[in-house]
Amino acid sequence: MKRVITYGTFDLLHFGHINLLKRAKDLGDCLVVGLSTDEFNELKGKKSYFSYEKREYMLESVKYVDEVVKESSWEQKIEDIKKYNINVFVMGDDWEGKFDYLKEYCEVVYLSRTEGISTTEIKENLRCG
C-alpha cells in the first residue's frame, strides 16, 4: 500500500483544497493529512476562522482523506513519515524546495496550485465586500 501525506491549515475549505487533496490521493492508496493545530497556527502568525476540531471534521468528511493527524510543529514531519509509513510527501508548489530534505525518507512531490482560488483571496474579498 502506497501512503501519502500532506499538511496544511485547511481553513475556509474550498475547491482548491479539494483539488489538492484529490491529486494527493491519486498518488497513492491512503492519504494522511497533517492538520495544523490552533496553537501551531498561532506560532506561524496565522488565525483560522474555524477551530481545529471543526477543520478536522470538515477534512474527515472529504472522500479523499483517509486519516487526519495533528500538526503541532515544523519539526514533526520526519517523525510522521516514519510513524505513518509514508511513501510520498505532497505540498503545493508555493513551498517548492522547502521540504527537499525529506527526500531521504520518501518521495517529495510539489503540486501546482489551483488557479483562481486561495483562502487569502477569499478573506480579502469578504473584507472588501
Pair 120, 92: CB distance under 8 Å: no
CA of 83: how far to CAs of 15, 27, 69, 97, 106, in Å?
30, 19, 11, 23, 13
List 46, 83, 98, 103, catalytic entry: 46
Q: Active site residue: 2, 22, 25, 44, which one?
A: 44
Known catalytic residue at 46: yes
What is the rounded CA–CA span in Å between residue 71 and residue 76?
7
Which residues are catalytic, by number?
44, 46
